[in-house]
Every structure is written in structure tokens, then in C-alpha cells.
Structure 1
């Protein structure tokens, strides 16, 4: 922030000092002091500003140090009550100079300004040895301007232009060298067009004038009659911006510029035609709302961009708005979810606009490379803008979202029927067999499973069960069915195809078991027939049995071995029933094709409790004695006696009959009751 010191000097000394802070919206206000010089000092450079802008407002002098004249930085109240004061400052050469008008006209001196008039003033004229005020004199030519006495015999106009006709050794040399001509002239991006963005709300356009090396702060640039003083920033930037009126739509802007230095020397003019006004953007219509381009992806890519589609980039169809012509530019803005946007430019061709070819649609490709495209799977959005050669841009299209998904699903598993490579009768319904497709972990709802060319979309239930089922025609007896399955995700990525086969075998079911025995087959299950609460069921095998067949006893399966076939039977352990409960077993044989024999059943009752010890021995009678001789009457012999016939008589005590019906065994064989 610059600070200007204002010293109020009379003939011999400084009588007041004020500080003006620039960039402050409130100007510094001081009271005028009669017959004084107002010495200006810029503290940042320790010398006076080269130029200032002065303006008369009623009786007050407004001074701006920013050279734009937009508002005063300093107000000297009552300056024009007695117009016998001046502005002075120390220059780069260490000498003092008065501020004189850049125009060189007497009427533009600070003391001669008319009401409301503003003029630029610069350090010029003859050097002064001190900043003190010089009193009035009657010398010729200075009666009206006594504060110019220090210019020692120089005519007013010459003094203002930096001339010095006197012989005073302190006079500055006469400057008669004109600045070089401006180096170039252009508007905006120098594309030979003036678009809507380059014209402000007041109908003016910024014209940029290149400055020569010998241009200086305070020089006047004149552009199409508009004058503007060069500032430090202009000199540093090597150019100055001047606002001038823009021509009408479709007309060219011709610009002429020249530079005039502080001494009044004017450069040669530079004239250029900087551009044609073109402010109508693509899609703009007279008496109608503007139309934006429309963005769409192909039907295949709209559901997701697959690996095969991504190989050639993402194809975006842009419907061009009215007013688009060949040479205009379509700009796509592609934004990854949570990422940094990228842009893709495409120049519209005649073919794009040809109704028989492009039909007003440009196909723009988002490349799959890191330089100017996208490379990663993920979610994206895309918008489009059409910009004409003048730089006018259409409205932005609505955003369209898309997903890049290049990862294929995992391969499925296939089971025909029960998956044992055979198709049996119980696996066929209405001449069709069920195919179970095991789904990979990355399968999703909406993916498509394809089985032998038939498509089926996966549902929530399929995903929850990790299995999808389809039915296809069963083959003829003895023929093989080949099933090929794959999964395609919504983006179009296809899994590896898997193929399995199965043969139909529904004829010649195995014969039924020849016999079934629970334990020893006596319809009782005794304690010695139970081990680990399991009872052995002996199944006699038919001659047609083969190794690999399965014997199924109450759901318990036993696969037959060579030993089983050679033995002719196989034992299968099943759980024993509770004490006193009956056990019924159902037995069947299943061959390797899944064909099942008729079922054979058997029953037995569990009885593992022995009778109590008899309280009285049974009485056995016989009709022969111990020597085998007949007895008459029959002789009663003691229990455990020896007999030699098969018609003994046994008398059971009544106390034993109460415990149940006894069983008579002769030589280990049950004797039927008479």
C-alpha cells in the first residue's frame, strides 16, 4: 500500500505536512493555504509521482495518484479561492519540477481548470532549485500565472511541453524524440473474432496494445480517439488495455493506436483489423430459448462399459444444437466419482452435420489412456459443450452417468441332475432335465446366465441361493447330453464357458435284494446283536449286483465292493430301536446310473431282557427209566435227567406261567407248543 506525503511550502519553509494512504476508499481532505507549493512525495520510491490526475470540483482540487481518475485520493478544499498555488515534486534526477498538463495547453494547467474538468499533469518544464513558493511578478507572459515564475523566461506552451528557451543552465534539455509505434493490437485470444464473452455489458471491448521498449509511465496511448495514460503496470506488462466501442454483429473492428510522450512527441500510428463480431453461440435461436447439446451412450455401453468395449474407448454420441457448423469444437467434461475432471475435444466435421451420414450427431471417443482419457474401472459422468470458432459456447448438456466395468464374472459350476454324469428316470420330468448352475461370488442380480444358448437373468433368489436352475430337453436313452454355461454381467463382460456331459440311463433297474435279515433273522433283536446301539442288517445280494452299486437300508448307504459281491451279501449297520419296540427296515439297491430296485422289508422286535430265575424247577416226566426200560406207570425223574426219546413231558410251575409263555428248547431247537 503506497503512501504519499504532501508538504505545504511557503517561500522559505514547510508550513504543513499531510499523509495520503492509497487504496483507501476515503480520500484525504486538507485545507488550502494561500501562496504555497504543494510538494508531493511517493515514499515507496522516495520521489514525486511522475504524473497525477487533477480535477476541479467547485472550489476544490481533486487529485488522484492512481492515474485512473476514478476517484480522488486527495482533496484540497478552497484551492480555487486564490489560484496562486502550484503542485511540485522532486524528479528522478534530483531536481524539482512543476506538474504541467500533458496536453501542453495553457487552459489545462491546474490553476486554469474549468468547473468539472479533469486533466493529467506530469513533472515537466524547467528544473527548480527548491520546492519553495515563488511570488508573483510582472514579467512578460507570466502576469496571469505568477506560479510559473520559476520557468525563467520560457513561453507558457513551450514550458508545458518540456521546452526551455532561456539560457538558464538548470533547464532540462528539449525532448524531440517520439516514442516508437505500438508493437501490436489484438482483442481477446487474437483469433480474429470478437465473441460475446469479449464484449462487456456496456458494449465495449478490451483492446490490448503492445508497447515499445521506449514507452514510459505517463505517456499517452490513443486508441480510436480514446486517450489513456500509461502506468507502471502497463510498462511492466509491455502492453496496455483500452476499452473501445464494439461494432455491430458481423462487422469488423478496425483499431488505430499511437503513443504520445510527456513532451508531446507522437509515435507513428499502428492500424489493425482485430476481428469480426460474432456473439451468437451454437444453439441460440431468435425469439426462443437456447438449445443445449444432448449426450447419450450406445445401448450396449449405457448399462456399463465392458472390457471389450473399453479397448477402443468409450463412444459418446453428442446431438449437435442448431447453429453448429463444421470447425466448431465439442468439449466433453468427464468426471470420475470423487475424482478430477478431464476434458476431451472433438472438431465437428461436415459428415457429422450431413443428414445422410451423421444426422447432426458427433461421435466423440473418450480414450482409455492416461494422457487424455480414463483408465480405471468406476463410475463416471459426462457433459458436452459446443464452442464455435469465435469462442461462443453453447449451454452445457445434461449430465449422463456411466460405469466402466472390465472385470468378468467367475466361471459357473454345472450339475446335470444330481451331478453324477448320469441322467436317471427320477431326474426327468416332462422329458426335461434340470440343470443347476453354481454361481461365483461376484455374480450380481441382472447378470445373464447362458445355458446351451438360452439366456436367463439372475434374480435375488438366485444370488441368495448361489444357484440358478434351468431346464432343457433330456437326451434319448443311452445318449449323452452336453451342457455349456457362462455368465455375462450387465456391462457385457463374459465369464469363461464351462462344459459338462451326462448320459441318460433309465432302463434295467437292479433286481431286489434276495433276502434281508435283522440280526440273526429270528424277528428278535437280542443284546448280543447290538453294538454301540447299532444292529447289523444282512442283505442277500442278487446275482445281477455289481461293484459300485449302492445298498440303501433306511437311508443308510453302503457302496458294494468286490468282497461284498464274492460273499453274496453285505451288512449295513443302522440304529437299533428302543427296548420292546419294533424295527422295520426298507432295503433297495441303486445302480451307478441311479436306477433303483424294488424295495424289500423286514421286521424285528428288540428284546434284550432275560427271564427271571425260576422259583421252582419244572417237572419233567418220561415213560422210560434211566436204562431205557418202559415204566408203568410213568416215572417222574429229576430235572436235568437223561432221556432217550423225544416225547418228554414238562410241567411248568404256575408261578412261572405268570411271567409269560415259556419256550421249550430241545437240543437248542425250539419245540412248538402242542
Structure 2
């Protein structure tokens, strides 16, 4: 193994631009590629390169592996595939040879990304390296041995190029033969081995040029005048040059020349025009082709033939291409396309009973083959079918007449049908030798051919033959003679006929008879024709006319009644004559039957159908029926007396109107009488009453609803059904109607003369009703006076209750309820009082007297005029509590004597069950607090405080007592001038929560006589309890943190049926853009203008400088808009209309005097306080 490192030299044009030693395995040297550079490998400075290497494409780079099995490349030529050059190595003979793909491998210049290839040193020396020089300083890197031989020689040895070392000037050193080389034997073949010595197109590279010459000379291949490849002729005088031509659609004029070592050139060979073409022709277009057999039969879509050759013809092909016909994959004919693009290939198929899959392909001069046309199945068959079997055939005319053995017909088409034939064969019907119809046999072997014969009065000789798909014809069936005749005979002449009955009675002009047979006789008819007697359209007798033209037909009539008898002729072809005029013969062998009662109806003049026992008040009474014998008389009887008569119509139906003259019962029956005056039995009698007297008018009608409420004089109800009752005449119908005459209900007076009719009242508002009678004949009484009734079962809306003040006063907002309805107030289940809803839908209720102490659960219900009661309102919780402090000698129950009145020696004390104040020994201010007590206030609650006071020394500087809260006067001092107790009282509403100092003060400043008594201080506290609020801002002082959640700028109510007073939670939330009540059910929000000013955000939805807030909720939620009494007077909310925000509609409200806007989702109940 040679351990000498490999060298790589880069040659650009005629200059060596770099020379590098390849590093140890596992490290790679990188070279940047340039267009048309050569990359030359040597072992050391002048040794032979490896005979084979491996290359791999990675992107546009070429990796070179010089060691077999190596995983890392030794050399990487960057951008080789965008700047392609030539890779070569020094051979043993000291010349450079191009590396080429081994065997049939793809040229490495065409590798796909990631693909590898093994390269071998080719037998062809690399060209274009003559006259190389070295870049500056490059020779300094050469070996000493190489320098001893001369720098240029060293370069030549390194590059493998025969460098002329002054050989053109130093003749003393030239030992070569300078005579010009002469061309030797020359061979040119393409990659498929095709001889290209005469030129032409080819489709497989490379073109391999080979020949003989003088050893050492250089053979050069030229494309025009451009050398494209060369090789040095070997010592055996042979050379080979592979040439790859570009696929550019051009013809290349290739020639070969020789050049001696001294540069002398010999003559070139004559140029050969060669084109490289690997594009296959287009598949032949079947539309440009025809396929016809020897009989001219079109086989373009396949089929069978009995006549060779099968001619393939085409057009629009490329001149010079070869067209090939294939049987399967076997070529069976070919031709070169002419200059006009046409071609013709006759093909002879073997008579082997097989179907041949024939297709067409094209090969161009380069050898490229097109795709083939779709295969066409063609079979060759010369054997004729067998003659059709008449036993497998039927012949029937358009009337269904069998003509298999011939005959006459009047009805086209003549239908030929057969079976057991060969599917796919063609059956042909001939008239003589003229085909008159054909069809292809179906898959089941059956066939049908309708043939229309001309109306020419001739007999036609019809036969049948078969032709198979190849065109072979069978012999024909024996001919069948069929004549076509559509001319009907003349109608029978009544003068040539007689008609008599069994007694000899002449019926030639019609008439009635009781005796069969009816004899028809005639003469002067056409012998062989058929005479037919018809009863209506029914044939009842026939005979063939004798040779003398006479005929006789006896006819037995089998049914009684009228018979329209006529006579007609039919000729042998089946043509029918017109019939003779009808003979109207009545046959009455038996008397009529009684009519069927089920077929009889009786209807009065009002169209009312009358059943047995019914009455009527309207003439005429029409009796009608069916099933009678046409022409018979119909007789209507009252008992045994005839009261009406009619005639049975042709359809067996009849109708007889009868006028009933007296008010009584009639026994009606019906019977028939035939034209020979024979009467049949009558039906059983039917009783029909005639009555025109109306019933008496109803009186004393009682009306009650389902709850037993008396509505006889009218009224309202919510309980269906409403029952009407009274008395009347047995059997009469009771009818309840409204004012428009619409029937609401009906009943019948019973056998006791009583009646009752339940009526389900419609929910259409108030109506008035009346009652009337109708008897069985339809006579109607007058009606009762109308009674106004109203029905409604829908309960009123649930009231929304507002606690207006702590009196307490409860109320509802305008528009919420129906005016006139009653609101009832309850404490739990105990009724406290009622209020009537005002015309505007509002209501208000205050207890008639001061409410007693205790806890209350106020509930309101609404009852409408129909008696419907609403659901309970939400509970309003309320309480009232009173505390009395009773002063005795030893206890002051929590009251404290003020500092001013507790000085030693004053004598102020709780004594004799009261408090005594003595100012005689009081030094200082007399006008001051006397007693005080700390109490715990609840904001919004109403407090009433009182005490009793009297003077100890009346008339002398009388005391003046008042009440203060936290140092502020609630009640100015009042003079105490009597010795009897005076009650001093004040009422106030707590404005804050928590403890407060309640005090009694003295407003008298003077000392003498300013003595007084105080007793029985009393305080009453009343108002809503937790969970309820009072309009106007009173209510619980805070909210449980669990009652709501603030997420960002959105406040969400967490509970059901809760009340949120926004002003109460102002210190618990901040920057509220919106409040959500939705999803929890029936929540209430109290909000004021101050709330929006405090918590809202400016220009949140409208850019107008206002503070704004949005409220979202459901239809059961309520928003109370609270007004305020501020420094600008009473401020209210004003509605501005609607606005759509992100698809949701809101009602917009604005303050009177502040820049405040509130958006409330449409559907929420809105109340203004």
C-alpha cells in the first residue's frame, strides 16, 4: 500500500492556480469551484492517482472519497453542481484521464442530492491541458527531482499533459515523425449500439467514436469546428472517445481529425449529421385513424370480420416516424410515415377463432417509442350461422292475431319474435329479397322485430335470416304469405234484415216483448264475413255469412230491461264495419223487484238528510235512489196512496220530489212499474214527520262556572267549563251561541224536560251569549236576552314590591300591572289589607294604623277580575321594635347623668320611680345635657324617641327640655311648665351605622325654679331587615363579600334573588365599568346617579365626556333607578332610547344635571324611584 499523500491541482484555462496535499483521513480540504475548472489528482507530486474513487452529491457540493469504505470525504468541491468542471487523475502512463461512472452507472454530473457513484479512470486522456503555465510562485513547491528535469517538464509530469518544452524551436531535441496524421478506420455507435456512421438521430448517450491511427497521435472529435473530445492513440494503434451531446434539439456535424505529437494536423473525416433526441413521440390519436376490413366494415371500435386484410390507415403523423401495429405485444406490421403525414398498414389475421387485441404505436428515427393506442378487439370468422328454426319463432299482428302460417291482417306492426338464437347475431326479416327489419339478438338468445307492411293490397312473402358479427349470412326460413288490408266492410243495411221475437212479433222498429229468442236474419252479405249482434257494446251472437249471402242469428236476452241491439260485419282481415242503427227492444219477462232500501235517500228542502222517524219543516222532500231498471217508472207512496212518480234513468238512478201538505207523520215507500205496466212490490214504509211550528223560547236559564260561581246575570270566570241549564220540551236541541251566531255548545232536552250544556269558554276576551231551542224538524225558537261573560285563566304578572318608607308603605311602579285588579298584602299567610291598581298600573298600600312591634314577611298577590291570582311577590322583610326604660329608685337602666348634672350636693338622682333634676346647687351652665345613653344605630332605620317630663316648680324659670343625637339637636327644647307629665317625642332616620349618643338636654339657663322630673324614656326602631332595601337609599348598611365578585372592572352578583345596593358597597369596589346580574335569577340592583359618578368611567361607550356604566342581566332581574335630592334640586333619570353594543341592545338613561349615562340591557325590568 502506497502511503504517499495525494495531491490535488486546480487548472483554470491554461493556468495551474493551486496545488494542495490532501490531509490525513478524516479531514477534508475544501476547494471553491469555478466554471469549467479541472481538478487533477496525483499520488504525491508525480505518481498515479487511484484507479477508482467514490463521489457523493450533497446539495450543490461534490464530496470525493479516495479510500474505499471511508465515511468522511478527503476533498469537497463547493458549488461543483452550479459551476461544473472536470475531475481527472494521473494514469500510469503519466497522462491525465477523466474519471467516469463505472459500468452503466449514471454520469456523476447528473447525480441527485444525496446520491453516490463509483468513478473509474477512463481510457480517454483529458484534453485541453496543452501549454499550461503555473501561477506565480507555484513552481517553488515542486520536488527536487521534478526541478532537475526542468520546471515545465515537472509541471507537465504533474498535470499529465504533454507540454512542449521548446519542441517547436529546439529541433535538435525533436525525435517525432512530423508527417501529418491520416484518418484510419472509424466507427460511431450510440449507447444502444446503433450504428451512427451515416448520421441520424439517436436517444442513448454516449456516442462512442473508435478507430485506428498512428500510436502517440491524438484523435480529436469536432462538433463543427469546435473540438469536443480527444484521446491519444494507444500503442496498439486504437483509440476510443465517448461523446455526450446536449439534448438541444439541434443537429450536430461531427467529424474526426488527428494531430501528431509535434502539433501537425491531418485532414478530418467527412462530417456526419447527428441529433440527440430522447423525447418519445406522442401516442397516436385514434381520431386520426381508421380500421376497415376487406369488406369495408368499420372496425375502429373492434368487432368481428370475415374479410382480410384489416386495413389500418392514419394521418397527421410525423413524416419519417415508423408506425407499428401490435397484436398484444407482438409487432405484426409497420410502415414509415410519408411526407404528407399519412400511413397505411394492411394486416392479415389468422382464422383461429380468437379475438386479437390490436394497438398502434410510433417509433421516431432516434428509436424513441410512443405509448400505444387503446387495444381494439378484432376477431376473424368465416363460418356462416345456421338457418333460423321456425319452431323458435312467432308472427303476430298488432291485434294479437297469429300469422305464423300466413293470413290477412289489418293491424301493423307484424311482430316477429324468436328465441334460442346466438347472442350478438343480427336477425333480418325479408319481404322477398328486401330487408324490412333487423335486430341484434339479446344475451338471453331472444329477439323481436316489428315490421310495418304497406297498405298496397298485396300479399308479402316474408322470411327470416341471420348474419353473425363477422358478416356471415345464414340461409333463410321458408316464406310466409301475409296480406295487409285495412278497408272495413260496409255497414249492414236494415232493409236487408228482419227482427222478430219468439212469438213472431216484428221488432224491426223496436218495441217491448216477453218472449225469447229475438231472431235476426239477413241477406246480400259478403260470403265469408262474420255477422255479429251486439247488446250495447257486448257481442251476444255471431255467424259466418253463407255462400249465398244469407245469415241467421237467434239471440236469447237474459236480463229484463231495455236493450240496444245492433248488427255489424267483420272481414277475414279483422276489419269491422260500422254497426246498423240500434233496435230499442224492451225485454220484460219478470215483474220489477222492490227497490233496495239501502240505495234510497230522503232529503228535505234545506238539504237535511231524513232518517226514519225524522221530522222536517221544509218542502219539497226529495226521494232518490239507484239500482233501478232503466225506463221503469218509480212510484212514491204515502201508505197505499201514490204521491209522486218518476222514471229510472239510463244509469239506473232516479229522483222524485214530493210535497208534504199537512203537519203530520207520513208513511213513505217506493216501488217500480215496468213499461208493460207490471208493478213490483214496494219498500217497507218509512215514517217522516212534517212540522213547521217553532218551539217556545227558553226561560229561567241558569249559568255556573266549574267552581259553582253563579254567572246567570253575567260576570267573569277562570274556571271552565261554564254550565248552562234549564227546562224545555223533550227532544228539542239546546244551542248556545255568541253574539255573532257562532255556536259554542249544544245539548238535548231529556225525558224529564231538563237540559244541561257544558261550554268551554274561549280565551278571546269578553263575549255575550244567548240560548235557543231547535226542534227535530229544524224549527228554531227565539233566544234568551244576551248575557255578558268573560273568561281568562292566565294569572296576572307577579307584582314587584317596593318598600317606600318605614311607615311602612309598599308600592308597585306604573305600567307593571293591570288597572282595576286587586293587590292583597300578606304577612306570611295573614292578610293585612288590599289596594286597587291605579289606571297607570301603579299601586300603594300603607297600614291603616301604626303597625305593632314584631318581624314581618310582607308578600303581595294580585287577583284579577276573573279570579286568577298571581304568584307571590318576593318577600319584603320588615321589623318594628320598642324599648321602654322604667326609672326606679335604684336603677337607671343604662342612662347616665351628665357631668353638668352629677355634681356633688345637687341632689340629682333616680328616685320615686323617676329622675329628679335639682339646679339649686348647680354651679355653672344650666343649659346642658341632663341624661344620655349610647345606642347602636342601623343606617336607614326609623327611630322614634320619647320621654315624659314635668316641672317641680312651675311658673318660675320653667325648664326647657329637648333631644340631641351625637351633639346635634334633633328636637328643640320645649317648656315644661306643668306638674303633670308631658310627653316629648322626636322621629329620625339613622344616616350611619354604629353607636351614637342619644341625650336629653335642658335649654333653660336660669337657676331658680329650674327643677324637673324625667321618666319613661321610650325608643321605637322600625325598617327593613337584612336583604331588603328601601327606595331612596335606605337599607342595609353593607354587603357580604360573598354576595358579589369583582373581576377586573366587572362586578358580578353571585347569589339568587339577591338585592345589591350599589351605594352600600362603594367602599368595597372601585372603577366598575359594568355590573352583571345574569345567570343567577331574579336579582335586584339599586343604583343612583352618585353611584355612577363615583364608580363609573368617563367615555366608556360614548365619547361625550360623561361618566358611564353598563348593566347586564336577564328578564327576571330588576334595576331600580334612584333619584337624589342634591345641591341642584331633585335629579331624575331620563330615557334616551336604545343603542346596540356588540350585537346586544341596551336602554340608555341620562341624569338631569350631571354628565352621567347608564346602559341597561334590554329585557331587564326598570323602575324609577
* Greater relative contact order, per chain length (Cα 8 Å cut-off, separation 6+): 1
The structure with the greater share of residues assigned to helix is: 1
Same structural fold, with TM-score higher than 0.5 when normalized by the shorter chain: no
TM-score, normalised to structure 2, is 0.25
User: What TM-score comes out, normalization by structure 1 length?
Assistant: 0.39
Return the index of the structure with the highest Cα Rg: 2
Name the one with the larger strand percent. Answer: 2
